[in-house]
Amino acid sequence: MTEDCGAFGRADVLFRVTADSSRVNYALGDIDNMRMQRQIRQDTGALTDFHLDGAVSTGVTATNLGNGSGQVIAGPFEWTGDSSAPTSNQFRIAGVTNGAVSRIDVSIANATASGYAGDFNDCSLTIRPQRAGARDYIILREDLADCGAFGRGDLSFRIQAPLSAFPAAVKVRRLAFGADGDITDFGFDAEAGAGQTPTTISGGREEVVFGPFEWVGDAQAGTRGVFRITGIVGGLPDSIDIAIANATAGNGQFTGAYSDCSLTLRPGRAGLNEFVIGAADFIDCGGFGRGDLSFRIRADAAVLADTVRMRRFAVTTAGGLTDFGFDND
């Protein structure tokens, strides 16, 4: 238990496990079979697997700006809500001695409100000394009030501090807390985020395909999947077709082909540079129980950006929240 280590506050912890070979269940020389994984449970019962623990990340090395100053850029952190959002996003900048940041500028791309250009002129955060720790600096949801009511967007941070405060690589991580206390680490933050490049098809149109997203419930499911597509910049797509593989209901009518379902394109689901598919929209597909869903999006070439991304998270009727980190494996 961590109480054996004293009151260290928060830190990045490494473990060294030593045992007699007779007590360890692996073949000699096969150390790769040993695993250590973490789960976090809150007093409310909220749970996350901290998918980011398994992400390979060397962090970001600070750029020397001269005059003793350094700079790090991190992000984007997709689908971040503003200070009034029901999902509370919190960010930790780790690797800053005494949390001695001097400036944090925020780029807000794909904001659902107008007035944001997606560059670092969008917002500058007030530096709050109480957010500084021995080796980190924390950004809380209420701090994003400095950026106004942007709704939700893809946030990148430009962080400046004395170069001496960046002794090693810097990592920026996000946690999100649901309205009822559930927690997720948004594991897709660690993905390279390259997205998909649309493919040209006939008639001046393009298509892009995502999935499969495993174990998605239909419109009646207790766990509600929410999907966000970014890179839809010129209006509604022509069509969104869904292939439903491994359906648990439907008496064989779902074959895993894109003829399984075509979604009604609801204008209310379109935002600036995005389109959101809610769980209720799967009523268009009928009762498939749960299945592994792939999406095919077709649109005029002017509608799709050069790069398109699709992300999922899910909420339960009891307020539970997860990012389904295995979507990115």
Q: Is 108 among the domain residues?
A: yes
Q: Among 118, 152, 182, where does a domain finish?
A: 182
Examine the pLDDT at 38 and tell me if it is beyond 60: no
Same domain, 142 and 74: yes
Q: Looking at 182, 215, 241, which one is the last position of a domain?
A: 182
pLDDT value of residue 233: 84
Kindly state whether residue 42 falls inside one of the protein's structural domains.
no
Assigned domain for 21 exists:
no
In the prediction, which pLDDT does 271 show?
A: 80
Residues 209, 321 within the same domain: yes
> Which pLDDT score is estimated for 82?
96
Indicate the number of domains in the chain. 2
Which amino acid belongs to residue 40?
I
Domain assignment present for residue 76? The answer is yes
300 with 220, same domain: the answer is: yes
The angle at the Cα of 281, spanning 280 to 286, to the nearest 5 degrees, equals: 90
Whether residue 266 is found in the same domain as residue 154:
no
Question: Do residues 75 and 178 share a domain?
Answer: yes
Q: Rounded to an integer, what is the distance from CA 14 to the centroid of its chain?
A: 25
d(CA 52, CA 312): 16
Q: What is the pLDDT of residues 93-133, one digit of tens each?
A: 999 999 999 999 999 998 989 999 999 999 999 999 999 99
Q: 134 and 236 share a domain?
A: no
In a domain, 267, yes or no: yes
Q: Are residues 132 and 247 in the same domain?
A: no
Amino acid 329: pLDDT: 47
Domain boundary among 182, 217, 234: 182
Report yes or no: 40 and 183 within 8 Å, Cβ to Cβ. yes
CATH number, residue 148: 2.60.40
Whether 303 maps to a domain, the answer reads yes
CA 316 vs. chain centroid, Å, equals: 18
Same domain, 260 and 152: no
Model confidence band, residue 223 (pLDDT cutoffs 50, 70, 90): confident
Structure tokens at 186: 């948004």
Q: Does residue 209 sit in the same domain as residue 154?
A: no
The whole-chain average pLDDT of the chain stands at: 84
Domain of residue 231: give its range.
199-328
Say which range, 30-34, 206-210, 227-231, 318-322, has the weakest mean pLDDT: 30-34
Looking at the structure, tell me whether residues 237 and 283 fall in a common domain. Answer: yes
